[in-house]
Amino acid sequence: MKERDSAGEKFKEEQTKRKDLLNELEDIKGKVRVYCRVRPFSKTELEDKSRTAMCMDINDQLSVTVHGRIENTYHFNNVFGLEST
């Protein structure tokens, strides 16, 4: 169990390092970054329970899946969820 937890932590650390290096490279190239922010429900939406159904899922810190007639997954430089400030 300890080895698996340790490997998971190392993976997250390496993923963060990779992301930081990629950001530096994009800064050097002048590449545009795209962020996604999922806003919280408004008071009006919260009053009407039929309007609080989520039409999307935040897969991870970099991608979102939107449910509709066709399910699409979009990738971003960063995804901010409902609880983000």
Q: Say which residue the tokens 């939406």 belong to.
A: 45
By the 8 A CB rule, do 45 and 52 touch?
yes
- In the structure, what pLDDT confidence band is assigned to residue 40 with cuts at 50, 70 and 90? confident
Measured CA angle at 58 (ends 83, 78), to 5 deg: 75
pLDDT computed for residue 39 by the predictor: 87
Q: Which residues contact 31 (CB under 8 A, 6 or more apart)?
A: none
Burial of 62 (0-12, 13-18, 19+ CB in 10 A): middle
pLDDT computed for residue 14 by the predictor: 92
CA distance linking residue 84 with residue 68, whole number of Å:
25
pLDDT computed for residue 80 by the predictor: 92
